[in-house]
Amino acid sequence: MNYGKLARITPRWGAIQIAKNKSFEYQIEFNKFADQPFEFSFRWTTKRDHAGLDFTFSIYKLFWLNLNIRDHRHWDRENDQWQTYSKE
């Protein structure tokens, strides 16, 4: 389902905008996407493209689940700030 610019949701994938530059995203897959017998990871990134929280949990060949809150912007390493784009 598509809810305009605020949300795109399917049973296996979705993105919901929660702030001007941030969105909550989820993805779940069955019978694939698992390279390891068991995976449990939590990451929090800053000062990089699409920075934010990322949680992944999987059991080999059973399911793979990823939840994250990401920033839509790209990081400008030269100026140590978010990139800005001029409106054309």
Q: Which is more confidently placed, 88 or 26?
A: 26
- Rounded CA-CA distance 52/8 in Å is 19
Nearest to 34 by CA among 67, 13, 59: 59
pLDDT in tens, 20-52: 899 999 999 887 666 678 889 999 999 989 899
Range 50-76 average pLDDT = 91
Token pair, residue 32, equals: 């694939």
pLDDT at 88 over 60: no
- Please tell me the predicted confidence (pLDDT) of residue 30: 85
What are the residue boundaries of the structural domains of the chain, listed by start?
Answer: 7-82
- Please tell me the predicted confidence (pLDDT) of residue 1: 60
pLDDT at 12 over 70: yes
